[in-house]
């Protein structure tokens, strides 16, 4: 019997402890949920937590009482009062503690909970239906009370700690529930150890009393009802949270921007876009501090702006920072104020901005700094010169035969040459110099603080040598070369405009002296430039002031022994400088853009003069490259013919091959329209261009003029004689007439006659003269004895 009683006691004590554990665990979970939501929601969750804990405490206490004495009889009234005391005390504890979150609140909550348990014990003792008084020992009861306060306070502290840490929450909450549950067996010592009845108790049953079976049933019912209701409520709420979270996740994943949901600066959730931006996994970022850890922003204060865009960086999983644009907005989630951050990756935008900035400052093709960057660098260099803290040498570079190479080999080959030019300059100069492309085939180099003029000259030598080496493109060798003009600051100027202008003057001199050279600026160049600029200005008035005059050089037919026409050549009789050479003022007209107007004057004047001749001799007029680019040139020619009353077949237009190559298709269209008028087309200076044979095939030429450089050496230089024979043979096969220029000796004339050359032109036939010198020829009053003498 004793063994059975002890087993029954142990079983009930364990059962009571389990009941208390389940009640407190449920209450702690409900209390934790009370922190998430509105004030009304928190009150509801706290109420459920208090009911669950109070019901468990009351039920466990009764089970322990029954375990001590199975014959107990309780009066119903006090028993009901003790239940409400248990629930009320638990409500006060959970409301005050907030789940243990309040700092320093756990010990006080432990004392309040121990007082509640003690109050329930005393009321239950008073509820016993017996006439025997109960005696309690104060010292033992104080020790028991302290033990309960310690365990209950520890339980609440562990439950609150699990909420704050966010990790191992269930384990710590269970530990807290166990600590609180163990306080109840201690409270039972009030009945067993700290006192007892005076004499053997005799229990009296009555209409308002309850025996052990009824009390046990009521305790179990209340326990299951409270705990079950709490657990069911928690499960329903958790399911609602899951649905809300799923909807939130769907909304987040629908966004192309990174979405981060934050509560108290801790990451609650993120979407896949944010994970793609940072490279983290979702589990790696949850619970981490967002601002200051993942997100790094530079704000004037600690407050985050709401609904305002600002820029910052987020940490990447592989190190480094990703530039982002962020906006933060308040966001109520499950009744609690969260913050949602929309994070936009700015990497592509920053790359695009860098690319735009690069393109604004660099040449697209070569990657060298462009004209704007060069201008800034030149200004900085001149500022240092003026401040006496620096000097520099400015090199202006121009590729010598780039245009011809571009026309012959194509624009892709030309681009390749420009790229290789930039590459060679970078390799040659290194970081000590600044190189830029200004456009086309124009480059500049600034050499900072050169130690001497000799060093500048050495650099120029190297540039000319490096750019003089052939460029290889698709197995073809392209040779262009470079000319260089140099100005040194401050000796040659201290302003950007002056230094650049003088380097350009030196470049012009280098190109004029044969190309593939470098020249330093000299003061005489400045004077020459001023003279040229003055002449360019005065040339525009030369037509109005009748300073221009046409000279005419005859062309003789080799077989008929007669003059067949004249070439019109313009001369400028300057009132101060006298007669200016055409090689000077024609280049000035081309540089100033006046060449088209000058060429049109020559055309109209020549047509008018030839129209007055009695002999139907031809008149040849040279066209400049710029004239060939005029779409209305055929109309100008037609008007000149009409105005001069000149038959179209008496006019010949002479063009050089170089002028055709500026814009081949436009030149071809213009020449075909002129030829359709009945005007003859002649190629001047044949043999000096890049691709004469292909040009002959493409353009409708009626005549070729062999350049004087070949005629000068015929009969003396075997190669020159062979070239002339080849040209004459080619022209006969193509049925194109040939004119030999520069015939000055009888030997040259006889060689050309033997090779069946069609026409000749040169000083031996006649020098360029005013038309009055040839009046008897154009009026048919005399023969041409000069040609007769040559044949004799």
Span 528-586, pLDDT tens digits? 777 778 888 888 888 888 899 999 999 999 988 789 999 999 999 988 888 888 888 88
Distance CA 38, CA 54 (A): 24
Structure pTM? 0.49
Q: Per-residue pLDDT tens for 447-458? A: 999 989 999 999
Closest to 759 in 3D by CA, of 622, 552, 561: 561
3-state secondary structure 654-696: EEEHHHHCCCHHHHHHHHHHHHHCCCEEEEEEECCCCCHHHHH
Asked if residues 611 and 647 have their Cβ atoms less than 8 Å apart, the reply is no
Q: State how far the alpha carbon of 107 is from the alpha carbons of 29, 30, 146, 190, in Å.
A: 20, 21, 11, 22
Query: What number of CA atoms fall less than 13 Å from residue 293's CA on the CB side?
Result: 11
The answer to whether 470 touches 414, Cβ cutoff 8 Å, is: no
- How many other C-beta atoms can be found within 10 angstroms of the C-beta atom of residue 609? 18
pLDDT in tens, 359-374: 788 888 999 999 999 9
204 — pLDDT class (breaks 50, 70, 90): low
The pLDDT value recorded for residue 605 is: 95
- pLDDT tier for residue 90 given thresholds of 50, 70 and 90: confident
CA distances from 284 to 227, 251, 271, 291, 323 (A): 36, 21, 13, 16, 20
pLDDT confidence of residue 100: 43
Q: What is the mean pLDDT of residues 380-399?
A: 93
In the structure, what pLDDT confidence band is assigned to residue 165 with cuts at 50, 70 and 90? Answer: very low
CB atoms within 10 A of CB 750: 14
- Is residue 128 within 8 A of residue 74, CB to CB? The reply is yes
Q: Which CATH superfamily is domain 362-521 in?
A: Reverse transcriptase/Diguanylate cyclase domain (3.30.70.270)
- The answer to whether 187 touches 13, Cβ cutoff 8 Å, is no
Give backbone dihedrals phi and psi of 544, rounded to 5 degrees, phi first.
-65, -35
pLDDT above 90 as % of the chain: 27
Phi then psi for residue 568, to 5 deg, are -85, 125
- Please give the pLDDT value at position 66: 65
Q: For 649-676, what is each residue's pLDDT tens digit? A: 999 999 987 777 777 778 888 999 999 9
Cβ-contact 382, 499 below 8 angstroms? yes
What contacts 495, CB < 8 A, 6 or more positions away? 382
pLDDT, position 466: 94
- Residue 197 structure tokens: 């009845």
Report the length, in residues, of the chain: 792
Where does residue 323 fall: left (phi above 0), alpha (psi -120 to 50 degrees), or beta otherwise? beta
Helix (H, G, I), strand (E, B) or coil at 311: strand
Question: 74-78, 376-380, 393-397 — which is least confidently predicted?
Answer: 74-78
The pLDDT of 679-683, averaged and rounded, is 93
Q: Do 269 and 244 contact (CB within 8 A), yes or no?
A: no
Q: Which residue has the higher pLDDT, 246 or 107?
A: 107
- DSSP at 772: G
- What per-residue confidence (pLDDT) applies to 607? 96
* pLDDT value of position 140: 67
CA distance 52 to 18: 14
SS3 98: coil
Distance, in Å, from the CA atom of 372 to the CA atom of 393, rounded to the nearest integer, reads: 19
Higher pLDDT, 98 or 350: 350
The domain locations on the chain are 2-198+208-236, 255-350, 362-521, 544-791
Across the chain, what does the average pLDDT equal? 80
The pLDDT score that the predictor gives to residue 555 is 94
Thinking of the domain 255-350, which architecture would CATH place it in? 2-Layer Sandwich (3.30)
Instruction: Check residue 679 and give its pLDDT.
Output: 95
Contact 624, 655 (CB under 8 A): no
Structure-block tokens of residue 394:
């400015």
Average pLDDT over residues 698-718: 83
pLDDT, tens digit, 9 for 90 and up, residues 404-429: 788 778 889 899 999 999 999 999 98
User: Beta strand 482-489 with 518-520: parallel, antiparallel or unpaired?
Assistant: parallel
Instruction: Give mean pLDDT, residues 667-687.
Output: 89
| DSSP strand pairing (651-656 vs 680-686) | parallel
| pLDDT for residue 226 | 61
Q: Which CATH superfamily is domain 544-791 in?
A: EAL domain (3.20.20.450)
pLDDT at position 164 is 47
Phi, psi at 365, each rounded to 5°:
-75, -55
For residue 402, give the 3-state DSSP assignment: helix
pLDDT-derived band at 205, boundaries 50, 70, 90: low
pLDDT reported for residue 273: 82
| pLDDT at residue number 533 | 80
Helix, strand, coil fractions of the chain, as percent rounded to 5? 55, 20, 25
Distinct helix (H) and strand (E) counts, the chain: 28, 26
What's the pLDDT score for residue 792? 45
Residue linked to tokens 């571009």: 406
Q: Which residues on adjacent β-strands are paired with residue 261?
A: 269, 340
Q: With pLDDT > 70 as the criterion, what percentage of the chain qualifies?
A: 77
Q: At what angle do helices 402-409 and 411-429 cross, to 10 degrees?
A: 140
| 611, 645 contact by CB (below 8 A) | yes
Q: In this structure, what DSSP letter does residue 320 have?
A: S
Mean pLDDT for 326-331 is 81
Peptide bond between residue 315 and the one before it cis (omega within 30 degrees of 0): no
Question: Where residue 460 falls among pLDDT bands split at 50, 70, 90?
Answer: very high
With contact defined as beta carbons under 8 Å apart, do 619 and 607 qualify? yes
């Amino acid at each position: 019997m004793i063994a059975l009683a002890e087993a029954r006691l142990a079983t009930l004590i364990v059962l009571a402890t389990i009941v208390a554990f389940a009640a407190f665990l449920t209450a702690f979970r409900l209390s934790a949920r009370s922190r998430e939501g509105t004030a009304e929601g928190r009150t509801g969750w706290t109420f459920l937590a208090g009911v669950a804990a109070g019901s468990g405490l009351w039920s466990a206490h009764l089970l322990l009482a029954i375990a001590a004495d199975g014959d107990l009889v309780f009066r119903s009234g006090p028993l009901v009062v003790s239940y409400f005391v248990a629930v009320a005390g638990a409500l006060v504890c959970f409301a005050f503690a907030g789940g243990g979150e309040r700092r320093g609140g756990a010990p006080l909550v432990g004392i309040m909970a121990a007082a509640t348990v003690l109050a329930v014990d005393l009321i239950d003792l008073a509820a016993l239906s017996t006439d025997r008084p109960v005696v309690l020992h104060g010292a033992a009861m104080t020790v028991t009370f302290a033990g309960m306060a310690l365990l209950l306070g520890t339980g609440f502290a562990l439950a609150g700690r699990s909420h704050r840490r966010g990790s191992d929450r269930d384990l710590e909450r269970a530990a807290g529930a166990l600590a609180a549950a163990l306080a109840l067996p201690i409270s039972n010592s009030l009945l067993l150890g700290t006192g007892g009845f005076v004499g053997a108790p005799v229990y009296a049953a009555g209409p308002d009393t309850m025996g052990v079976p009824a009390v046990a049933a009521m305790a179990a019912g209340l326990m299951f009802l409270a705990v079950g209701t709490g657990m069911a409520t928690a499960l329903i709420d958790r399911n609602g949270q899951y649905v809300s979270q799923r909807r939130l996740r769907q909304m987040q994943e629908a966004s192309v921007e990174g979405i981060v949901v934050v509560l108290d600066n801790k990451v609650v959730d993120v979407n896949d876009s944010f994970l793609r931006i940072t490279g983290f996994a979702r589990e790696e970022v949850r619970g981490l501090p967002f601002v200051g850890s993942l997100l790094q922003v530079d704000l004037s204060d600690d407050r985050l702006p709401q609904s305002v865009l600002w820029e910052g960086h987020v940490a990447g999983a592989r190190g480094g920072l990703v530039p982002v644009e962020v906006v933060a907005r308040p966001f109520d989630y499950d009744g609690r104020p969260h913050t949602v951050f929309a994070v936009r990756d700015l990497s592509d935008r920053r790359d695009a901005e860098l690319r735009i900035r690069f393109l604004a400052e660099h040449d697209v093709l070569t990657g060298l700094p462009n004209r704007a960057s060069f201008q800034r660098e030149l200004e900085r260099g001149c500022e240092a010169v003026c401040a006496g803290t620096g000097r520099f040498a400015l090199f202006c570079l121009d590729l010598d035969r780039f245009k011809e190479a571009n026309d012959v080999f194509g624009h892709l080959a030309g681009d390749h040459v420009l790229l290789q030019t930039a590459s060679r300059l970078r390799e040659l100069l290194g970081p000590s110099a600044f190189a830029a492309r200004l456009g086309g085939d124009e480059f500049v180099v600034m050499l900072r603080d050169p130690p001497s003029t000799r060093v500048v000259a050495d650099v120029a030598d190297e540039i000319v040598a490096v750019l003089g080496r052939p460029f290889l493109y698709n197995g073809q060798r392209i040779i262009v070369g470079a000319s260089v003009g140099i100005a040194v600051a401050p000796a040659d100027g201290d302003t950007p405009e002056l230094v650049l202008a003088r380097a350009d003057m030196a470049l012009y001199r280098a190109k004029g002296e044969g190309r593939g050279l470098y020249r330093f600026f000299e003061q005489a160049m400045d004077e020459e430039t001023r003279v040229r600029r003055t002449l360019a200005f005065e040339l525009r008035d030369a037509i109005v002031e009748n300073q221009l005059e046409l000279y005419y050089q005859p062309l003789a037919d080799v077989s008929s022994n007669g003059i067949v026409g004249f070439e019109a050549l313009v001369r400028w009789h300057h009132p101060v400088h006298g007669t200016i050479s055409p090689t000077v003022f024609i280049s000035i007209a081309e540089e100033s853009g006046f060449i088209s107007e000058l060429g049109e004057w020559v055309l109209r004047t020549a047509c008018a003069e030839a129209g007055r001749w009695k002999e139907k001799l031809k008149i040849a007029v040279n066209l400049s490259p710029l004239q060939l680019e005029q779409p209305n040139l055929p109309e100008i020619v037609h008007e000149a013919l009409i105005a001069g009353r000149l038959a179209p077949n008496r006019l010949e237009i002479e063009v050089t091959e170089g002028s055709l190559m500026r814009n081949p298709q436009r030149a071809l269209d213009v020449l075909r329209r002129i030829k359709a008028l009945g005007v003859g087309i002649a190629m001047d200076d044949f043999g000096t261009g890049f691709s004469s044979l292909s040009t002959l095939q493409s353009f409708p030429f009626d005549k070729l003029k062999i350049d004087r450089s070949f005629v000068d050496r015929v009969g003396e230089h075997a190669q020159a004689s062979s070239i002339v024979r080849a040209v004459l043979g080619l022209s006969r096969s193509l049925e194109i007439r040939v004119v030999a220029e520069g015939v000055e000796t009888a030997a040259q004339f006889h060689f050309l006659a033997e090779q069946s050359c069609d026409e000749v032109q040169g000083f031996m036939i006649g020098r360029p003269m005013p038309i009055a010198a040839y009046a008897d020829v154009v009026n048919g009053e005399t023969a041409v004895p000069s040609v007769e003498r040559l044949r004799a």
